[in-house]
Amino acid sequence: MNVKEELLKALAGGDFISGAALAERLGVSRNAVWKAVKSLESEGYVIESVTAKGYRLAESSNRLSESLILSHLPDRSMCSSVRVFDELGSTNITAKELASAGAPDGTVVAAETQTMGRGRLGRSFASPPGSGLYMSVIVRPELELQLCSMITAAAAVAVAEAVENLSGAETRIKWVNDIYMNGRKICGILTEASLGLEMHSLDYAVIGIGVNVSGSFEGELADIATSVEAECGVRPDRNALCAEIIKELRKYLPTIGERGFLTEYRRREMLTGSEVTTTVGRETLTGKAVGIDDDANLIVELPDGTQRHIGSGEANRTRKK
Ligand code: BTN
């Protein structure tokens, strides 16, 4: 890490630190600290400087930064690298390009804003700057192919838990992988996989995560989407949230084989017990969601009593006419 990155990391705690203490910690002169502060300010970071107290990173900095994300991780082995961009078309697209070029397991791509944020089922994902966390994680798990479909459900548990850890508020999961707070969506996940040459193993998967951290939605979206801050009054720091998600993914992804994430998934799943409508290929099914099976499929009981295990797509509560 260079002086600037070291300085950012040192200031990440949010407390004032004197120029002398910073110089000692970084092993550079006070003048070098001052220059690094100026350089960070020119990049848009807001650094408060108070006589006899020192420097502190203002909360209003609110910028995504590789150093700040890493500073929230207990050790570097949690992720191989973090790449932060001001603007990308889609973090998933960039992550897939990096993965195809050989980027290792645990590479994280994040962006302040996306111009072509992608959602599931061909939808777009609104990605305004400053108010959301848009990140993609490259994973190369050694998993049998039929278990790979559960990456997305395990990721949903990881993200739900990370948001809860930082906000103190409860989240729910709507099958397959939408995260909800108080009945409206705060996060969507789009997992894209690439198969190995022999087609019976996974080369890599990119887990794309979009969290609405602050702000509100208008028009039709206002009924279905919301943000963490709007729901619970707490605005998690986006760098800390990114790191927390990385930690929770590290915890839950290795449990896919023995279904270690399923208890937490089932506990939060919110369609179970409701009348739902789901589309399977060209067929639209209406029935009662009665649970999640051991492969994270949604079990729907049809009016004739038969049960269908739905592996992909989307299900919604049936609107009462
Ligand atoms: C959905 O709700 O349909 C899934 C939304 C996934 C959005 C995230 S934001 C980061 C990553 N990059 C993308 O283009 N999409 C995912």
Q: Which atom of ligand 1 is nearest to the CA of 123?
A: 3
Q: Is 67 in the pocket of ligand 1 (CB under 6 A)?
A: no
Please tell me the predicted confidence (pLDDT) of residue 200.
73
Q: Which atom of ligand 1 is nearest to the CA of 116?
A: 14
Ligand 1, residues 120, 137, 178, 209: which to mutate, most atoms within 8 A of Cβ? 209
Q: How far is the CA of 175 from the centre of ligand 1 (A)?
A: 16
What does the alpha-carbon distance between residue 314 and residue 15 come to, in Å, rounded to a whole number? 45
Please tell me the predicted confidence (pLDDT) of residue 246.
97
User: Which helix or strand (DSSP H or E) is residue 279 part of?
Assistant: strand 275-280
The CATH number of 275-317 is: 2.30.30.100
Q: Is 191 in the pocket of ligand 1 (CB under 6 A)?
A: no
Listed by start position, the domains of the chain span 3-57, 66-268, 275-317
Note whether 92 and 119 are within 8 A (CB): no
Q: How far apart are the first and last CA of the chain?
A: 60
pTM above 0.85, yes or no: yes
Q: Is 132 in the pocket of ligand 1 (CB under 6 A)?
A: no
Bridge partners (DSSP) of residue 211 are 133, 187
Rg over alpha carbons for the chain, rounded to the nearest Å, is 21
Please write down the long-range contacts of 42-50, taking CB distance under 8 Å and 24 or more positions apart.
45/8, 47/11, 48/16, 50/16
Those residues whose C-beta lies under 8 Å from the C-beta of residue 213, and which sit 6 or more positions away, are: 131, 132, 133, 227, 228, 229, 235, 236, 238, 241
Q: How far is the CA of 227 from the centre of ligand 1 (A)?
A: 15
DSSP state of 320: P
Those residues whose C-beta lies under 8 Å from the C-beta of residue 9, and which sit 6 or more positions away, are: 1, 67, 68, 70, 71
Please tell me the predicted confidence (pLDDT) of residue 199.
64
Match domain 3-57 to its CATH number in 2.40.160.50, 1.10.3720.10, 1.10.10.10, 3.40.50.2300.
Answer: 1.10.10.10
Q: How far is the CA of 140 from the centre of ligand 1 (A)?
A: 19
Q: Which atom of ligand 1 is nearest to the CA of 185?
A: 2
Q: Is 179 in the pocket of ligand 1 (CB under 6 A)?
A: no
Q: Is 177 in the pocket of ligand 1 (CB under 6 A)?
A: no
Q: Is 96 in the pocket of ligand 1 (CB under 6 A)?
A: no
The CATH number of 66-268 is: 3.30.930.10
Please tell me the predicted confidence (pLDDT) of residue 294.
96
Note whether 320 and 308 are within 8 A (CB): no
Please tell me the predicted confidence (pLDDT) of residue 143.
86
Q: How far is the CA of 316 from the centre of ligand 1 (A)?
A: 19
Q: Is 190 in the pocket of ligand 1 (CB under 6 A)?
A: yes
What average pLDDT values come out for the chain (321 residues) when binned by 10 residues? 80 85 93 92 85 84 84 79 96 97 96 96 92 96 88 97 98 96 97 80 94 92 94 94 96 96 97 94 92 97 96 87 57
Three-state secondary structure readout of 125-166 = CCCCCCCEEEEEEEECCCCEHHHHHHHHHHHHHHHHHHHHHH
What does the alpha-carbon distance between residue 287 and residue 280 come to, in Å, rounded to a whole number? 13
Q: How far is the CA of 221 from the centre of ligand 1 (A)?
A: 16
Please tell me the predicted confidence (pLDDT) of residue 198.
67
User: Which helix or strand (DSSP H or E) is residue 33 part of?
Assistant: helix 30-42
